[in-house]
Amino acid sequence: MTEIEWVPRFDYPPQEWVLVDVRLPDGPERAAQQVADRGGRQNKRYAKAVYSELRHIWKDTYEELGEPVVAYVPHVRRNAEPLVPTSVAAFWREVPCERTLEALMEAMSQPLTNPALTRVGEPEVSAVELPVGPACRVHDVHLGHTGWEQLAMERLEYWVLSPLYPAELLQLKATWVSGTVGEGMAKLVDRMAASLTCVRRGEGEEPRPVLDAPGSAVIFDEVQIGKGLRPLAQHGFVTLDRGVLSLLGSDRQVIASAPVSEVTAWPVRASLSTAVGLEIGGTTYNAAPGRGSYPAAFTLPTDLMRGHSAPDQLFALIEQGGGKRR
Protein backbone atom coordinates (compact mmCIF):
# COMPACT_ATOMS: atom_id res chain seq x y z
CA MET A 1 0.00 0.00 0.00
CA THR A 2 1.29 3.50 -0.84
CA GLU A 3 2.31 5.32 2.31
CA ILE A 4 0.13 8.38 2.92
CA GLU A 5 1.34 10.87 5.52
CA TRP A 6 -2.12 11.95 6.68
CA VAL A 7 -4.43 9.11 7.60
CA PRO A 8 -8.20 9.53 8.08
CA ARG A 9 -9.59 8.54 11.47
CA PHE A 10 -13.14 8.34 12.77
CA ASP A 11 -14.97 7.01 15.81
CA TYR A 12 -17.20 3.94 15.79
CA PRO A 13 -19.31 2.02 18.35
CA PRO A 14 -17.51 -0.67 20.35
CA GLN A 15 -20.61 -2.90 20.31
CA GLU A 16 -21.09 -5.09 17.22
CA TRP A 17 -18.42 -3.27 15.15
CA VAL A 18 -14.96 -4.67 14.42
CA LEU A 19 -11.83 -3.08 12.99
CA VAL A 20 -10.59 -4.75 9.80
CA ASP A 21 -6.97 -3.54 9.83
CA VAL A 22 -5.73 -3.19 6.23
CA ARG A 23 -2.22 -2.44 7.49
CA LEU A 24 -1.82 -6.05 8.59
CA PRO A 25 -1.89 -9.15 6.36
CA ASP A 26 -3.86 -10.95 9.05
CA GLY A 27 -6.37 -8.11 9.44
CA PRO A 28 -9.37 -10.33 8.55
CA GLU A 29 -8.26 -13.00 11.02
CA ARG A 30 -7.94 -10.41 13.80
CA ALA A 31 -11.40 -9.06 12.98
CA ALA A 32 -12.91 -12.55 13.09
CA GLN A 33 -11.16 -13.15 16.40
CA GLN A 34 -12.98 -10.10 17.83
CA VAL A 35 -16.24 -11.90 17.02
CA ALA A 36 -15.03 -15.17 18.58
CA ASP A 37 -13.93 -13.27 21.69
CA ARG A 38 -17.56 -12.37 22.40
CA GLY A 39 -17.59 -15.76 24.08
CA GLY A 40 -19.35 -19.09 23.71
CA ARG A 41 -19.34 -21.84 21.11
CA GLN A 42 -21.90 -20.04 18.95
CA ASN A 43 -19.64 -17.01 18.47
CA LYS A 44 -16.69 -19.21 17.53
CA ARG A 45 -18.80 -20.72 14.75
CA TYR A 46 -20.07 -17.23 13.90
CA ALA A 47 -16.48 -15.99 13.52
CA LYS A 48 -15.68 -18.78 11.06
CA ALA A 49 -18.82 -17.98 9.07
CA VAL A 50 -18.09 -14.24 8.74
CA TYR A 51 -14.38 -14.63 8.00
CA SER A 52 -14.75 -14.82 4.20
CA GLU A 53 -16.85 -11.66 4.12
CA LEU A 54 -14.39 -9.83 6.38
CA ARG A 55 -11.56 -10.90 4.10
CA HIS A 56 -13.49 -9.61 1.08
CA ILE A 57 -13.96 -6.24 2.81
CA TRP A 58 -10.24 -6.17 3.70
CA LYS A 59 -9.19 -7.03 0.13
CA ASP A 60 -11.44 -4.44 -1.54
CA THR A 61 -10.33 -1.68 0.83
CA TYR A 62 -6.65 -2.63 0.54
CA GLU A 63 -6.73 -2.66 -3.27
CA GLU A 64 -8.34 0.79 -3.32
CA LEU A 65 -5.68 2.09 -0.90
CA GLY A 66 -8.30 2.83 1.72
CA GLU A 67 -7.92 2.95 5.47
CA PRO A 68 -9.33 2.54 8.01
CA VAL A 69 -12.33 0.25 7.61
CA VAL A 70 -14.74 -1.06 10.24
CA ALA A 71 -17.46 -3.68 9.76
CA TYR A 72 -20.80 -4.23 11.46
CA VAL A 73 -21.17 -7.81 12.72
CA PRO A 74 -24.51 -7.88 14.61
CA HIS A 75 -24.75 -9.91 17.79
CA VAL A 76 -27.74 -11.74 16.32
CA ARG A 77 -26.48 -13.73 13.35
CA ARG A 78 -28.35 -13.17 10.11
CA ASN A 79 -29.72 -16.26 8.38
CA ALA A 80 -29.12 -14.91 4.88
CA GLU A 81 -26.04 -13.37 3.32
CA PRO A 82 -24.44 -10.97 3.81
CA LEU A 83 -23.66 -11.90 7.39
CA VAL A 84 -21.73 -8.63 7.61
CA PRO A 85 -24.33 -6.18 6.28
CA THR A 86 -22.43 -2.89 6.71
CA SER A 87 -18.91 -1.53 6.40
CA VAL A 88 -17.53 2.00 6.68
CA ALA A 89 -14.20 3.01 5.15
CA ALA A 90 -12.19 6.11 4.26
CA PHE A 91 -10.27 6.77 1.02
CA TRP A 92 -8.24 9.48 -0.66
CA ARG A 93 -9.73 9.84 -4.17
CA GLU A 94 -8.91 11.64 -7.37
CA VAL A 95 -11.16 14.62 -8.01
CA PRO A 96 -13.89 13.60 -10.53
CA CYS A 97 -14.76 17.22 -11.42
CA GLU A 98 -13.80 20.78 -10.60
CA ARG A 99 -12.70 20.86 -6.95
CA THR A 100 -15.51 23.01 -5.60
CA LEU A 101 -18.47 22.09 -3.43
CA GLU A 102 -20.94 23.23 -6.10
CA ALA A 103 -19.30 21.13 -8.81
CA LEU A 104 -19.19 18.11 -6.49
CA MET A 105 -22.90 18.38 -5.71
CA GLU A 106 -23.71 18.64 -9.40
CA ALA A 107 -21.55 15.61 -10.24
CA MET A 108 -23.06 13.47 -7.48
CA SER A 109 -26.58 14.28 -8.68
CA GLN A 110 -25.92 12.79 -12.11
CA PRO A 111 -27.13 9.29 -13.16
CA LEU A 112 -24.86 6.36 -12.28
CA THR A 113 -22.39 5.35 -14.99
CA ASN A 114 -21.78 1.83 -13.67
CA PRO A 115 -23.90 -0.54 -15.81
CA ALA A 116 -24.09 -3.04 -12.92
CA LEU A 117 -26.00 -0.55 -10.76
CA THR A 118 -29.48 0.92 -11.15
CA ARG A 119 -30.36 3.87 -8.93
CA VAL A 120 -33.75 3.81 -7.23
CA GLY A 121 -35.25 7.29 -7.01
CA GLU A 122 -33.28 10.50 -6.70
CA PRO A 123 -30.19 10.76 -4.47
CA GLU A 124 -30.18 13.01 -1.42
CA VAL A 125 -27.34 15.47 -2.04
CA SER A 126 -26.48 18.22 0.42
CA ALA A 127 -23.60 20.41 1.57
CA VAL A 128 -22.35 19.95 5.13
CA GLU A 129 -19.50 21.30 7.21
CA LEU A 130 -17.28 18.74 8.95
CA PRO A 131 -14.35 19.40 11.30
CA VAL A 132 -12.03 18.12 8.57
CA GLY A 133 -13.49 20.45 5.92
CA PRO A 134 -16.56 21.24 3.78
CA ALA A 135 -18.20 18.16 2.31
CA CYS A 136 -20.84 16.89 -0.10
CA ARG A 137 -23.14 14.31 1.52
CA VAL A 138 -24.76 11.75 -0.81
CA HIS A 139 -27.35 9.18 0.28
CA ASP A 140 -28.92 6.94 -2.34
CA VAL A 141 -30.42 3.50 -2.96
CA HIS A 142 -29.45 1.36 -5.94
CA LEU A 143 -29.99 -2.15 -7.21
CA GLY A 144 -26.85 -4.25 -7.42
CA HIS A 145 -26.79 -7.20 -9.82
CA THR A 146 -24.96 -10.20 -8.36
CA GLY A 147 -25.46 -12.50 -11.35
CA TRP A 148 -28.38 -14.47 -9.90
CA GLU A 149 -30.34 -11.85 -7.97
CA GLN A 150 -30.75 -8.14 -7.36
CA LEU A 151 -30.02 -6.56 -4.00
CA ALA A 152 -31.26 -3.14 -2.93
CA MET A 153 -28.19 -1.39 -1.53
CA GLU A 154 -28.06 1.85 0.43
CA ARG A 155 -24.98 4.01 0.17
CA LEU A 156 -24.02 7.03 2.25
CA GLU A 157 -20.92 8.94 1.23
CA TYR A 158 -19.14 12.10 2.29
CA TRP A 159 -16.80 13.79 -0.19
CA VAL A 160 -14.60 16.19 1.77
CA LEU A 161 -12.58 19.11 0.42
CA SER A 162 -9.63 18.66 2.77
CA PRO A 163 -6.82 21.24 2.65
CA LEU A 164 -4.26 18.50 3.40
CA TYR A 165 -4.21 17.20 -0.19
CA PRO A 166 -5.47 19.96 -2.54
CA ALA A 167 -5.42 17.62 -5.56
CA GLU A 168 -7.55 14.92 -3.91
CA LEU A 169 -10.80 14.37 -2.04
CA LEU A 170 -11.34 12.55 1.23
CA GLN A 171 -14.19 10.05 0.91
CA LEU A 172 -16.02 8.39 3.82
CA LYS A 173 -18.16 5.59 2.42
CA ALA A 174 -20.75 3.34 4.02
CA THR A 175 -22.82 0.69 2.24
CA TRP A 176 -25.44 -1.72 3.47
CA VAL A 177 -28.11 -4.03 2.09
CA SER A 178 -31.41 -2.21 2.41
CA GLY A 179 -33.61 -3.67 5.14
CA THR A 180 -30.80 -5.52 6.94
CA VAL A 181 -30.16 -2.81 9.52
CA GLY A 182 -32.37 -0.38 11.38
CA GLU A 183 -33.36 3.06 10.19
CA GLY A 184 -30.75 4.53 12.54
CA MET A 185 -27.78 3.35 10.44
CA ALA A 186 -27.68 6.53 8.36
CA LYS A 187 -27.75 8.65 11.53
CA LEU A 188 -24.93 6.54 12.98
CA VAL A 189 -22.80 7.05 9.85
CA ASP A 190 -23.53 10.79 10.09
CA ARG A 191 -22.09 10.71 13.62
CA MET A 192 -19.03 8.82 12.36
CA ALA A 193 -18.56 11.53 9.73
CA ALA A 194 -18.84 14.22 12.40
CA SER A 195 -15.88 12.60 14.19
CA LEU A 196 -13.79 12.34 11.00
CA THR A 197 -10.32 13.84 11.25
CA CYS A 198 -6.83 13.22 9.88
CA VAL A 199 -3.71 12.39 11.86
CA ARG A 200 -0.10 11.86 10.87
CA ARG A 201 0.80 8.24 10.29
CA GLY A 202 2.24 6.70 13.41
CA GLU A 203 0.53 9.19 15.73
CA GLY A 204 -2.58 7.21 16.62
CA GLU A 205 -4.39 6.77 13.32
CA GLU A 206 -6.50 3.81 14.38
CA PRO A 207 -10.25 4.55 14.53
CA ARG A 208 -11.49 4.84 18.10
CA PRO A 209 -14.21 2.48 19.42
CA VAL A 210 -15.75 5.17 21.60
CA LEU A 211 -18.93 6.18 19.78
CA ASP A 212 -22.12 5.59 21.73
CA ALA A 213 -24.85 3.90 19.69
CA PRO A 214 -27.89 3.70 21.96
CA GLY A 215 -30.99 1.95 20.72
CA SER A 216 -29.40 0.12 17.80
CA ALA A 217 -31.89 -2.15 16.09
CA VAL A 218 -31.82 -5.94 16.31
CA ILE A 219 -33.19 -7.67 13.22
CA PHE A 220 -34.03 -11.36 12.79
CA ASP A 221 -34.35 -12.26 9.13
CA GLU A 222 -35.72 -15.22 7.16
CA VAL A 223 -38.55 -15.54 9.68
CA GLN A 224 -41.61 -17.70 8.98
CA ILE A 225 -44.57 -15.81 10.43
CA GLY A 226 -48.07 -17.18 10.90
CA LYS A 227 -51.31 -16.63 12.78
CA GLY A 228 -52.70 -19.95 13.91
CA LEU A 229 -52.48 -22.26 10.89
CA ARG A 230 -52.50 -19.36 8.44
CA PRO A 231 -49.08 -18.40 7.03
CA LEU A 232 -48.41 -14.68 6.78
CA ALA A 233 -44.79 -14.52 5.58
CA GLN A 234 -42.15 -16.99 4.42
CA HIS A 235 -39.21 -14.55 4.40
CA GLY A 236 -40.33 -12.13 7.11
CA PHE A 237 -38.52 -10.17 9.81
CA VAL A 238 -38.73 -9.60 13.55
CA THR A 239 -37.24 -6.26 14.58
CA LEU A 240 -36.57 -4.73 17.99
CA ASP A 241 -35.87 -1.05 17.59
CA ARG A 242 -36.06 1.69 20.23
CA GLY A 243 -38.14 -0.46 22.58
CA VAL A 244 -40.66 -1.61 19.93
CA LEU A 245 -41.04 -5.16 18.59
CA SER A 246 -42.39 -5.45 15.04
CA LEU A 247 -43.29 -8.33 12.75
CA LEU A 248 -42.63 -7.50 9.10
CA GLY A 249 -43.78 -9.45 6.07
CA SER A 250 -41.59 -10.58 3.19
CA ASP A 251 -42.34 -7.17 1.61
CA ARG A 252 -41.11 -5.48 4.84
CA GLN A 253 -44.60 -4.15 5.56
CA VAL A 254 -45.66 -4.15 9.22
CA ILE A 255 -47.88 -7.08 10.26
CA ALA A 256 -47.99 -6.21 13.96
CA SER A 257 -46.11 -3.93 16.31
CA ALA A 258 -46.09 -3.10 20.03
CA PRO A 259 -43.75 -1.92 22.80
CA VAL A 260 -41.55 -4.82 23.88
CA SER A 261 -42.80 -4.39 27.45
CA GLU A 262 -46.33 -5.30 26.25
CA VAL A 263 -45.29 -8.48 24.38
CA THR A 264 -45.68 -11.99 25.80
CA ALA A 265 -43.57 -14.81 24.34
CA TRP A 266 -43.39 -18.58 24.75
CA PRO A 267 -41.72 -21.52 22.95
CA VAL A 268 -43.85 -23.44 20.46
CA ARG A 269 -43.23 -27.01 21.58
CA ALA A 270 -44.54 -28.64 18.39
CA SER A 271 -41.72 -26.94 16.45
CA LEU A 272 -39.00 -28.42 18.68
CA SER A 273 -38.65 -24.90 20.15
CA THR A 274 -37.49 -23.39 16.84
CA ALA A 275 -40.60 -21.15 16.75
CA VAL A 276 -41.74 -18.51 19.19
CA GLY A 277 -45.32 -17.74 20.12
CA LEU A 278 -45.96 -14.01 20.45
CA GLU A 279 -48.95 -12.17 21.82
CA ILE A 280 -48.96 -8.69 20.30
CA GLY A 281 -51.86 -6.34 20.88
CA GLY A 282 -54.08 -9.20 21.99
CA THR A 283 -53.40 -11.28 18.85
CA THR A 284 -51.33 -14.45 18.85
CA TYR A 285 -48.65 -15.02 16.18
CA ASN A 286 -45.94 -17.60 15.71
CA ALA A 287 -42.50 -16.65 14.40
CA ALA A 288 -39.68 -19.01 13.46
CA PRO A 289 -36.39 -17.11 12.97
CA GLY A 290 -34.23 -18.69 10.27
CA ARG A 291 -36.92 -21.09 9.09
CA GLY A 292 -37.79 -18.97 6.06
CA SER A 293 -34.58 -20.05 4.36
CA TYR A 294 -35.80 -23.65 4.21
CA PRO A 295 -37.67 -24.10 0.91
CA ALA A 296 -38.77 -27.66 1.61
CA ALA A 297 -42.18 -28.36 3.12
CA PHE A 298 -40.68 -31.08 5.30
CA THR A 299 -37.40 -30.75 7.20
CA LEU A 300 -35.67 -33.37 9.25
CA PRO A 301 -35.52 -32.73 13.01
CA THR A 302 -31.72 -32.58 12.89
CA ASP A 303 -32.00 -29.61 10.52
CA LEU A 304 -34.62 -27.95 12.67
CA MET A 305 -32.29 -28.02 15.65
CA ARG A 306 -30.05 -25.49 13.87
CA GLY A 307 -32.58 -22.77 14.65
CA HIS A 308 -32.37 -23.03 18.44
CA SER A 309 -30.06 -20.08 19.09
CA ALA A 310 -32.18 -17.43 17.39
CA PRO A 311 -35.36 -18.12 19.44
CA ASP A 312 -33.29 -18.11 22.63
CA GLN A 313 -31.83 -14.73 21.69
CA LEU A 314 -35.30 -13.39 20.89
CA PHE A 315 -36.61 -14.56 24.28
CA ALA A 316 -33.68 -12.87 26.04
CA LEU A 317 -34.21 -9.57 24.22
CA ILE A 318 -37.95 -9.55 24.99
CA GLU A 319 -37.26 -10.19 28.68
CA GLN A 320 -34.57 -7.48 28.73
CA GLY A 321 -37.13 -5.08 27.25
CA GLY A 322 -39.64 -5.78 29.99
CA GLY A 323 -41.76 -8.31 28.09
CA LYS A 324 -43.12 -11.49 29.58
CA ARG A 325 -42.14 -15.08 28.91
CA ARG A 326 -44.38 -17.97 29.80
One domain, residues 22 and 100: yes
For 47, counting Cβ atoms within 10 Å of its Cβ (0-12 exposed, 13-18 middle, 19+ buried), the class is: buried
- How many angstroms separate the CA atoms of 287 and 222, rounded? 10
- Average of pLDDT values for 224-243? 89
Q: Give the domain range for residue 280.
A: 218-325
CATH number at residue 80: 3.40.1000
In a domain, 151, yes or no: yes
Select from 200, 226, 254 the last residue of a domain.
Answer: 200
Domain count, the chain: 2
One domain, residues 120 and 174: yes
Quick one: CA dihedral 211, 217, 218, 221, positive or negative? negative
In a domain, 209, yes or no: no
Select from 145, 170, 200 the last residue of a domain.
Answer: 200
pTM across the whole model:
0.72
Nearest CA to 237 out of 249, 251, 255 is that of 249
Considering only residues 60 and 179, tell me which one the structure prediction assigns the higher pLDDT. 60
CATH number at residue 229: 2.30.29.30
In a domain, 212, yes or no: no
> For residue range 157-212, what is the model confidence (pLDDT) as tens digits?
999 999 999 889 999 999 988 766 666 889 999 999 999 999 999 888 889 888 87
Write down the pLDDT at residue 101: 94
One domain, residues 257 and 195: no
Q: Which residues, at least 6 apart from 192, have a Cβ–Cβ distance to it below 8 Å? A: 10, 11, 12, 88, 172, 174, 211
One domain, residues 160 and 13: yes
One domain, residues 41 and 158: yes
- How many angstroms separate the CA atoms of 18 and 218, rounded? 17
